Structure 1
């Protein structure tokens, strides 16, 4: 499918510069707001200009990956000490001077202002007033894009300035903070009003690469669950509002509405969902409801989030995995769950494109791989793969339905069926009786057990997709899951090294053979083996066992076998959260950039949260 941003970024910039100039009293621009929004084509360009800000580094390698944080399903390497970079965001140690904090804050408000310009222009246009269907859709599109950016802001900064009109000459530039719940309520009401007038993805020229009606229904559900969930407040208490059930009910209503009005089919092959993105295929009416369309030369999917590929003379360029997944998460999957092999890659590709085993701290997200690009981008390429990024999937809506239904009414048949649909794709049909029916039946034994099953299912379904952080925040489980992850990783290292304990059945070392095509086959990904029974290449002497196995240090890498202390990555990655009981809230809130605070002349401050 064609990309939405086929016109140049420069053209978009010129278009919006003209719009901005018009707002000034001495504007020489020949483009007036009346002209821009007098026809569908130009009004659409104004809305497309909002999308263009997804193609900035603030989104491509910040919000869509680096800002996802260190959770129980994703982690990024952290330096030995704070370095005022993205790593400090991962470890909950960011300061107001962090450049990544600044660039995302500024980009978010730039996108919001573009959305405000488009909304005002459309609502003022004669076409919209006359009930033009496309203008109504475009308005909804702009409202949803604005809501999407505010969703990030309230999750990452808490209470923030809230503006729903475009900035004009003479406006008060710095506004005080608005309560996050007030913002979310406003956004939800906006979208509930606009949703009936929007078009389905299969009615739009760019399908799921544009905001569509089914995505907006899902976004209403997501925003409502956030509004009904927990948040950390300046005094470092975690709480949710007394009216939270009202918002669970809204989420439940819109999840059901989507499923009843426009049921989608979950793409049968879980891995195909993501391979489609690398191959530039965007099917409608399947799992992905909306994905950010990155212009060729933009987007960092399969560069910093995906399987590592070392640069060489081969034509695929280089990509790393800034995002990794913890071994505790990898081994939480049922071994029959097809999502495990898709979500976590135990290999990377060297400069000769030979598979090599990864380090235990570097299990890569296997959902995206630049080697799947149908046209190799060139040996010197790295960033800018043009691979789309999934913002919401139908599976998310199903699980939001199951969760909200359980909270409101307990594990009813509606909740059970929604969970089953997601698990059925994850397992082969011959395993459904045990892994789907029996599993879900047991989980439905109580409201709490079913909720915990949803917590687990969302982990297994959405690993490396950048939404776990926001789930943990609204559940008030962030601290618990960090403590659990660290404890499990350490215990895995100790048990496999000592040969006793809960995790001693897992591999201390991985043994593998290299195949003629350069791939490798592991002997024991899921179980420890008796090393005395394994012929290892060049052991005990060089030249011994030429047809044997190579040995690779695995879970024993979670500890320093000299000091018996946790490995460095475990001590560093969640460093800013020091409560090993997991009871206290995580300070995930980011400070407002220092330049913004200083420029606000006292209107904005970084008060509370221990700043």
Structure 2
């Protein structure tokens, strides 16, 4: 990769980063910044803040968590996939057939390296500033905080590079200081260790959120610690190695699990973050353009990607709720959604009655062009945590919906995982951390919570399942399964479940033997109400012709009705899934091209390979 791939953008471009912060809704004076030297920029707290905002800006927009990193790269696992057939672009990620020429590969790759470069400049120059070493107390505090933010932001970009590409040509100094223009693949272990040390430094520089009152779009001490825990688990986890071409983890992995456990313990004991009492309101809090905006008063959303419609939308906003989310053809609520669809069997991983997460995570209704609510077929359920009907925007593709990077539920479950691994079995503290997450999910139905495991393997398996239920659609599951070396196993398990689910003999098999072929429902008005009310207002025919019943009964009970009763429409459920198409079609089959010890990493884009003779392509790509 030539230097110009990661070469620093002008400081005037860095200044545009202020646009993603909720308090900044207009451009800064970019002419002023573009005419200043780096020494001048970092001799001012205000200008330094603009430079830091420019680093934050690399998190949002179309090439980052606005759509590609969040919704394309993170597919597929055993929760969601991209809708449609392979296309040489976004849908190939879901089918594990991305090649180095994929049209959606190069720009996100370059965007991450631009983020690293912007952070590198701040990391070099902030500590050299007189304000950092000789300023008054307020100036020194601000400059140290921003230095810690830069270190943390760089760690986020590097994590994204390493978990997608493995050993990569990452420079930790500004491009202007690089002497070798053709950077080879750098060991992911050394890079992980470097950023773990960086984050240890940042912990002493960045205050707790209670000390600053900053919004969740800004990094706090808890975020630094959570990121250090997350990266430690990746460092201690499995990854595909270029030399052995096998999924491996290092023998010293428990060292990193200890780091994760200690960092999460600090956050938990600080008691500054908690679990939002309402799983639904937790995700409504990300929809900042809503008239009925719900605040996350428990501070569960610890770090989110800011989004703003001020300025160049493709650079400063997200397409959440437009590309993904509940499918809509409504003139009132807007069109879009459905770009991400649920694996049909994912619906049945949730408790049929007690788990409040299912109807938030899965949008198994859609809105038609008459603002009526209709059911979705089994292969068309959408992800439901990002919904344009929770915003005020009925026309645009950009709606200022934020993407969650770190939330407290993850801290609890990371702590439980690390504790179990270090101790060989879960401590009572680890069990309590898992129980806190479950208690929120099963509020009102605590008697339906699964039994708490006491063995190492039983507890680990419970965590694997809990993270599936808790984080569906948040771009976490695929990477969890890779670091556990379980992605091939879970894909095969899911394919087996889908085969049982499919309409092959007229009756389902195994746990799906009572799942209906067809569901009959009446179309009725979409209320845009709270999810429990919205779903309970479904008019579904059950074992009494023309009668109504709870969602749980209809989706888990065969209907004796063989034709649609008067006023009802038949919606294919189990009947919709065909092994020949959903699993075995080379153009659209679920995870059709996945191969263990190959698909766990993406290929480097051709633009990088062709301009850097020292960069080695990941195993088997292009061979």
Shorter-chain TM-score bucket reads 0.7 to 0.9
Q: 1:58 aligns with which of 51, 60, 63?
A: 63
Report if the CA contact (8 A) 2:500-2:509 is conserved.
Answer: no
Matched, 1:75 2:81: yes
Out of 484, 493, 496, the residue aligned to residue 502 of structure 2 is 493
Counterparts of 1:377-526 in structure 2 under 5 Å? 377-379=393-395, 381=396, 383-409=397-423, 410-429=425-444, 431-432=445-446, 434-436=447-449, 439-441=450-452, 443-444=453-454, 446-494=455-503, 497-498=506-507, 501-515=510-524, 520-523=538-541, 525-526=551-552
* Aligned-partner Cα distance in 1 for 2:469–2:106: 32
Gap change, CA 1:392 and 1:258, over 3 Å in 2 = same
Residue 13 (structure 1) shift: 7.0
1:289 to 2:302 alignment: yes
Distance in 2 (alpha carbons) for counterparts of 1:36 and 1:496: 70
* Native 8 Å contact 2:363 2:383 kept in 1: yes
Tell me, in whole angstroms, the C-alpha distance in 2 between the residues paired with 1:516 and 1:387: 25
TM-score for both structures, normalised by structure 1? 0.87
Match of 1:339 in 2: 357
Name the SS for the 2:204 alignment partner: helix
Residues 260-409 of structure 1: pairs in structure 2 closer than 5 A? 260-280=269-289, 281-283=294-296, 285-296=298-309, 297=313, 298-310=317-329, 313-314=331-332, 316-335=333-352, 336-373=354-391, 375=392, 377-379=393-395, 381=396, 383-409=397-423
Shift of the 244–89 alpha-carbon distance from structure 1 to 2, 3 Å rule, reads: same
Give SS of 1:211's match.
coil
DSSP 3-state at the match of 2:176: coil
Q: Which moved more, 1:316-325 or 1:237-246?
A: 316-325
2:611 to 577, 580, 599: 599
Q: Is the 8 A contact 2:236 2:253 kept in 1?
A: yes
Q: How do 1:17-416 residues align onto structure 2 when only pairs under 5 Å count?
A: 18=34, 29=35, 31-59=36-64, 60-79=66-85, 82-130=86-134, 132-168=140-176, 171-204=179-212, 206-234=214-242, 235-280=244-289, 281-283=294-296, 285-296=298-309, 297=313, 298-310=317-329, 313-314=331-332, 316-335=333-352, 336-373=354-391, 375=392, 377-379=393-395, 381=396, 383-409=397-423, 410-416=425-431
Q: Which residue matches 1:559?
A: 578
What is the deviation of 1:422? 0.3
- CA-CA distance at 1:206 after TM superposition: 4.0
**TM-score (norm: length of structure 2):** 0.86
Distance in 2, matches of 1:71 and 1:566, equals: 14
Distance (whole Å) between structure 2 residues aligned to residue 84 and residue 499 of structure 1: 34
Provide Cα deviations, 1:371-397, integer angstroms capped at 9, x if missing partner.
111x3x243x2x211111111110000
Q: Deviations over 1:302-352 (max 9, x none)?
A: 112211122x543x4322222121111111101210101111011111222
Q: Deviations over 1:149-194 (max 9, x none)?
A: 1111001000001211111177433311111111111101100111
* CA positional deviation for 1:209: 1.0
Deviations 1:281-302 (A, max 9, x none): 5536521100001112421111
Q: Contact 1:218/1:255 (CA < 8 Å) preserved in 2?
A: yes
Q: Secondary structure at the match of 1:209?
A: coil
CA distance in structure 2 between the partners assigned to 1:288 and 1:74 by the alignment: 22
Residues 565-574 or 121-130, more deviating: 565-574
Alpha-carbon distance in 2 for matches of 1:566, 1:177: 36
Q: How many residues align?
A: 567
Structure 1 unaligned spans of 5+: 19-28, 538-544, 579-583
In the alignment, structure 1 residue 576 sits paired with structure 2 residue 587: no
| Contiguous gaps of at least 5 residues in structure 2 | 1-18, 528-536, 543-550
